[in-house]
Amino acid sequence: MRRAALVVTAVVVPLLVALLVLVNLRDDGGDGDDRPAQVQGPATTARADLPVLEVPVPPVTPETDAACPAFMTDLPIELAGLASRRVLSDTPYAYAWGEPPVVLRCGVERPAGFVRGGPPLIQLNGVQWFVDDSDPDRYVWTAVDRPVYVELTLPAEVDSEPAIALSGPLAATMPAQEPQPGG
């Protein structure tokens, strides 16, 4: 039931916002002026025209349902110059940008290498990240100081800019807590 409500919200809310924006762009003011409205500011970016990306996610837990929705609804359409792309997932807690993809998953398991005495954490904009660089083709950044783990997989050729950009929304939507490394 919650999943259906999230899907409806994810579809209906953006459509209502778009409709309101379109209605408000046209300000007739009764003067009969039918010229296009002058809109200033950055251009909006549509999703990239890329194939749908299948993203495996762990089963939803009550903690995931409590923590992830606020963060997932605050994600940018463009991240570090990469346009978002559609994903196929068993939950609404996955998102991706660009090709090769930058993939975000909310509510993942604790990373295997995140143990006491392991590599130091990297703090970005108030979020502590564990970085697994064991695969030469990709880096897996995991926020380890939130109620649930949030994972960001970056292709090796992408720098830390996506993690920096997502740290602010993550810190704003999920409370910090002390990291709990494994044994």
Per-residue pLDDT of 75-105, as tens digits, reads 999 999 999 999 999 999 999 999 999 999 9
What pLDDT is attached to residue 177?
97
Express each pLDDT in 136-176 by its tens digit: 999 999 999 999 999 999 999 999 999 999 999 999 999 99
Of 61, 119, 129, the C-alpha closest to 91 is 61
Residue carrying structure tokens 């993550």: 170
Lookup: tokens for 54? 């299948």
What pLDDT is attached to residue 46?
65
What pLDDT is attached to residue 48?
72
What pLDDT is attached to residue 12?
44
Lookup: tokens for 139? 């880096």
What pLDDT is attached to residue 128?
98
Q: Where do the H-state alpha helices sit in 45-182?
A: 62-72, 161-173
Express each pLDDT in 1-51 by its tens digit: 444 443 444 444 444 334 333 334 334 444 444 443 343 434 445 677 899
How far is residue 101's CA from residue 154's CA, in Å, rounded to a whole number?
7
Domain boundaries, the chain: 46-173
| DSSP state string for 9-64 | HHHHHHHHHHHHHHHHH---TTTT--SPP---SPPP-PPPS-PPEE---PPP-HHH
Residue 134 neighbours by CB under 8 Å, 6+ apart: 113
